[in-house]
Structure 1
Amino acid sequence: MVSKKAFPIDGTVTIMVVLVVLVPSVLLTPQTAEFRATFLKKCEEFPEKKQICEKILATFEQAYVGKNKNEVSEKNYNQVFAETPFTHPCEKTLLWSGTYEIAHEFAWSSKCFFTLEDTLLGHVLDKLEWCGEKGNKETFTEHCTDVKPNPVSSFWEKASITIGQYACGHVTAMLDGERPAPYFPTTFFALYEVANLQSPKVTQLTVVLVVKEDKGQCNNESLKNLNNILKGKKIVYDCKEVTQSHIKTCVREKKTCGACW
């Protein structure tokens, strides 16, 4: 702009240019900036277009930004899941409980199965932490899970419900056979995934019980309970014990679909 002081009394003309620097009223904190950058980076690695990732991030933030941690329920994520539906073949869904590492190694190696963390939102949010605060536009990445409900657990609750509803045909679940109760009623697998399997959309659930040694763990009482639940849903149940070492061999040799058990 040109200052009013540009015209002195002696008639000479001096032009003074004043630079106006606009400072944003709200600057992102390092936590918010880092979380957004990580979200977009993982989204584009999925891969997805940058513009789509930015839109998903904006919808995702609406679920928790400006809200106290314990105010965020699974319903807060309805919109982002509606806008980001699963795209993998529903009959290739691999559920898991207590077998995070080996289930994901096998799914990645075989390319035959898809875990929740192989979906776009699951991939992006896996191992991240986030929450908001009433009246605050920032994203925080620490101490977000010290209350229940919280934005992180509520997200995975919604994700687990959604993948249970999405699954179809012959579904596979990889469970930890070294646990006293491989099927435990308070796990996400039990509460949200098995509970939302729908017949006749889902015809069968095969439990791949990961064990150190084959000792007849498929006879575990908790798995009998799972069988009874599936019978009530008119879904066929099957259980196969597979040793950790055998699955590791399958991962190493990149066995094709179904060849590992």
Structure 2
Amino acid sequence: MSFLNTLNLTGKDKSVGLLLGLILLSHTERTGAKDKSNVVQKGKGSTAKLKEIMIGRCFNYLGTINPNAGNKDCSKLWEAFLRAFSEKDPCKITKEDYKPFLNMADHDIPIGQSIFWSQTKELILQYTDVTHKVMPLENTLIGFMLDGLNWCGKLSSPGPNYEACPEWNSCTNHSMGSFWRAASENYAMKAQGEVTVLLNGSANAFRENSIFREIELGKLDSKRVTSVHLWIMDNIDGPDKESCGVGSVAVLENILKEKKIKYTCVDNYKPVKMLQCVFKLDRPSCNTGT
């Protein structure tokens, strides 16, 4: 039975019915295409058992890792986090969507323990675990709960989309990208006292598209930050591409001067270099005579 017959229209009314039918068909096609774009994604889906992992990490952090983070309700933290992206287009999630979660999970960073990194994550986490002198974003409650996890939602159903998510660079307001930008901005604004920055001297150390350059550096307050220590670390097997005063590191140094923030710069800071060499003593750069 045709659409017009179901309306039981005759004569001139048929033309009206035909127009109505075309409008409804056009709307259906647009809606269908929109739904499809949110179902068929190329990236990895949300991490399995996302809720259980996040709540478990929350209890672990508050109970054993950093009890000084204060009283937090881990279940409510999960709910606030989920609301940020559930039943929403995964490419239309903004930093503001995560503000309720960030505010609930927030806690103080000890003075002098803020440390930033770019292309040196593994090394900075090793240094943190060994020295316990710094607290990178990944070692705050916010970072600890989400580090290494994937997540996104979809318009057609509540909860995480475990099937697929957009690839990281496929859209500007990516559900994970927006979160880490918001979390990094919040972290940088709390920095005070001496601040450390660990960059990769075997690459473009101060990359234009890095979170440190785009977000964190601009949020460092010269009234709260007394000095910045730059550690430019080469990969264990090189190359030695950039150093203090060279290439993009020189650009960073000039920005710090403009912000009137005192800084020091060291190439291959020895304590960190020793960590690099612990299991690679056979490498030429780890020779104790160098």
The TM-score range, normalised by the shorter chain, is: 0.7 to 0.9
Cα distance, 1:53 vs. partner? 0.6
Instruction: Tell me if structure 2 keeps the 8 A contact 1:90–1:167.
Output: yes
Instruction: Tell me if structure 2 keeps the 8 A contact 1:170–1:204.
Output: yes
Give the corresponding residue for 2:82. Answer: 61
AA partner of residue 276 (structure 2): K
Instruction: Tell me if structure 2 keeps the 8 A contact 1:106–1:250.
Output: no
CA–CA separation in structure 2 for the residues paired with 1:223 and 1:32: 36
Give the corresponding residue for 1:248. Answer: 276
Give the corresponding residue for 2:206. Answer: 183
Summarize the alignment of residues 22-37 of structure 1 with structure 2, pairs less than 5 Å apart.
34-37=49-52
AA partner of residue 160 (structure 1): S
**Cα deviations across residues 163-214 of structure 1 (Å, max 9, x unaligned)?**
11111111001111111x2111210010111011011111211111112477
| TM-score, normalised with respect to structure 2 | 0.70
**Helix, strand or coil at the partner of 2:116:** strand
| TM-score, normalised with respect to structure 1 | 0.77
Give the corresponding residue for 1:157. Answer: 181
Cα distance, 1:239 vs. partner? 0.8
Cα distance, 1:246 vs. partner? 2.0
AA partner of residue 53 (structure 1): C
CA–CA separation in structure 1 for the residues paired with 2:264 and 2:208: 18
Instruction: Tell me if structure 2 keeps the 8 A contact 1:107–1:114.
Output: yes
Give the corresponding residue for 1:42. Answer: 57
AA partner of residue 248 (structure 1): Q
Residues 118 and 51 from structure 1, CA distance in 2 versus in 1: closer, same or farther, beyond 3 angstroms? closer
Residues 215 and 147 from structure 1, CA distance in 2 versus in 1: closer, same or farther, beyond 3 angstroms? closer
**Helix, strand or coil at the partner of 2:208:** coil
Give the corresponding residue for 1:119. Answer: 140
**Helix, strand or coil at the partner of 2:62:** coil
**Helix, strand or coil at the partner of 2:153:** strand
Any stretches of 5+ residues in structure 1 without a counterpart? 1-30, 252-261
Cα distance, 1:122 vs. partner? 0.3
Residues 103 and 152 from structure 1, CA distance in 2 versus in 1: closer, same or farther, beyond 3 angstroms? same
AA partner of residue 140 (structure 2): T
**Helix, strand or coil at the partner of 1:79:** helix
Any stretches of 5+ residues in structure 2 without a counterpart? 1-45, 280-290
AA partner of residue 261 (structure 2): I
Give the corresponding residue for 1:27. Answer: none
Give the corresponding residue for 2:231. Answer: 208
CA–CA separation in structure 1 for the residues paired with 2:48 and 2:86: 14
Give the corresponding residue for 2:109. Answer: 88
Cα distance, 1:250 vs. partner? 8.2
User: Over the residues paired in the alignment, what is the CA RMSD in angstroms?
Assistant: 2.6
Residues 57 and 216 from structure 1, CA distance in 2 versus in 1: closer, same or farther, beyond 3 angstroms? closer
CA–CA separation in structure 1 for the residues paired with 2:147 and 2:97: 18
Aligned residues: 221
Cα distance, 1:67 vs. partner? 0.7
Residues 163 and 90 from structure 1, CA distance in 2 versus in 1: closer, same or farther, beyond 3 angstroms? farther
Q: Percent identity?
A: 25
